[in-house]
Structure 1
Amino acid sequence: MPLTLTEDQQMIRDSADGFFRTEAPVSEHRRLRDSHDADGFSRATWAKIAEMGFAGVLVPEAHGGADMGHVAAGIILEAIGKNLSAAPMLSTAILGATALKHGTPEQQAKYLPLIAQGAHLLALAADEAARHKPAHVATTATPSGNGFKLNGVKGFVIDGHVADTLIVAARTGGDTGDKAGITLFLVNPKADGVTIARRSMVDSRGAARVTLTDVQVDGADVLGTAGEGYAILERVLDAGRACLAAEMLGVSGESFGRTVDYLKQREQFGQKIGSFQALQHRAAHLFCEIELARSVTLKALQALDAGEDGAATFVSLAKAKAGEVAILATNESVQMHGGIGMTDDFDIGFFMKRARSAQETFGDSAFHSDRLARTLGY
């Protein structure tokens, strides 16, 4: 499959770029941060995102979604990255929708149409360790009545503070670190025993610490097969990782574009600093790195759409490369802006903060380099 967008995908790109540039620009990100918004995003904007069909990008048409696929989802996330748009796209439209595809017909009929409508928010409650370790699940699910009781703590739940439903990874068997014995549950965050504490990240995005104390769930709340949830969890995470790579691509590309514009305007010693060969070399190197990240990210998204057996390999390659490039791009952008790049009055610093946060989410470059090496047999 060629590493190019189809005509339809180019139309989605143009639509997404125009929408987020108009409805959720960087200035809106600044407003949300400065106002200490309780949600961390605009619900009115989220409703418009749903009207555009973006919230249902991965939801099957049979359940009211657009079913445009992972490449389209990545295109939308790249536009979000360009504008630092705050919205529950990743947590709900990507992670939530992917997880529910593995649910029962009843679960799909209940949740998927609401996701497409932008009327129900979900959050994946999986990570417990200080760093991303998807198999490190110590939260327990012990049999109780016709269901289970959940006990444990999830330290990093993206959009957990606004979720209408939590997707909780808990252990019905095995030991902490085992892939076997993990089960996914749909949990009402307002149920007895659920405590949610919001955490504001360095990029001002919202996350939560979720504590579960004897939370009763029914057997009907199990997502997939009990004890076999790790395979589903990895598919959900890979969809999120690939889309995060696309978002970081947007962060990198916008940082690069803003920096090149600045180099063309800023004068020093009587001439535009963009004429300095050293800065030209740095800009050229950054351009090449962004294009490499673009190619591998598109390949990862295509592999997910095609259901390729080796999709996880491309996802880890994309997440690792896009993360490294996002750090490089934002570092170079701040440095080439000079002293003004370090000030809060200038927007370029926001891109650096988002790059740091996204790079760490669901595995940093070191995690995915290791995962890639293990997959390839090293």
Structure 2
Amino acid sequence: MMNLIDIRAALRAQFENTSNLPCHVGAFAAWITSDDQALRTFIAEASGFQGQMRRPEHVAALGYGAASALLTEDEKDLLRDELTHLGGRAFFVSGRPWRFEVDGIALLGVSLGVAVNSADGQWLRDVLARSTSEVSSDPWQVGLVRAARLVIGESNIRIVPPDLAVAIAARGIGGLHDDDLEVGWDITARLEPHNSGPSRDAVRLAVFEHVLARRGQIAIAAVTRDDLIALLRNISRSMRLWTFESAKRTPKSEIARWDVENEYHAQNLLWAVLAPILSDLENEENLPSIGHKNPRADLGVPSLRTIIEVKFMRNAGQQACAKIIEEVAADASLYLSKSTAYDNIIAFVWDDRAQTEQHDELRAGLEAIKGVSAAIILPRPSKMTRSIGLEQ
């Protein structure tokens, strides 16, 4: 019986036993496995093409690079120009062989490029609508086309087959249904044969690494953004047993007080709660520069495309609440720019003054900010009394 090390080695061997991949297929494989170094190679191939006209496959490779925030400024300009040219072409032309029109890898890459650039994608929606029916006999291509449709804003679409659904969801596209995660893992771990080429080998490898990381920490299940929000809202229950002593608990111990004195302490509290559950949780993640700004998110969950922004509200009153709202609004404009891999923020506020009468209005103000999916306000527990006056 093969163990996990053997399975990983077999998956890697299947994927790596290929050479001279088409530019967009190689870019997809690098993107789905989060191999930025390899992806840069295919970006360079696409941007450096010297022929008369770049093919849609080159545009797709640039789209995968854009989705990973790996393009230079010149490459970003090139992608925008190529998308404009591509949008002006005719597709499904009678008498001309269909190529891009029925190539799910290319369609997904171009869709990512359109989404990153917030470009007019009606022409692409029209192509994808026709593509969906034309590839209906091939579940692999169907899944890729459905992923492309999700990327450009469609909803209520289920990705198939399950291994593709898991890998795509790990990249923040779509969601999992029913037993997708279990079935995706099962067909991956059993090395179930397929005839979908090296792109599916890459997907299987991505599924293995993603699920194995999760299985090492929690029972295999898909943590959603709603799950994360619910967990953060229930942190108040954890504070009931938070150590903040007024006397020794045992003869040989000292009085212990796990105080929360600043934003970093609150951030550490969240890390302690979330790190065992979210394998890709990032701390103080540096985001792509925006002009002279170098934004850095407090906590990030790439698989959920979610940033958790932590604020410490030291002072009381409406002015202090207004300041928190202003700070989060400023953060949202930087963190959710087109160049980042995140699309929403959860605001977590430690209210050191425990002014619960202000919380409803503060929460409403925060959740009215574009891009803020939820606001959680945790008041300083009453047992955590201070021995000195609060800083004004």
TM bucket (normalised to shorter chain) is under 0.3
TM-score, length-normalised on structure 2?
0.24
TM-score, length-normalised on structure 1?
0.25
- Which of the pair has more CA radius of gyration? 2
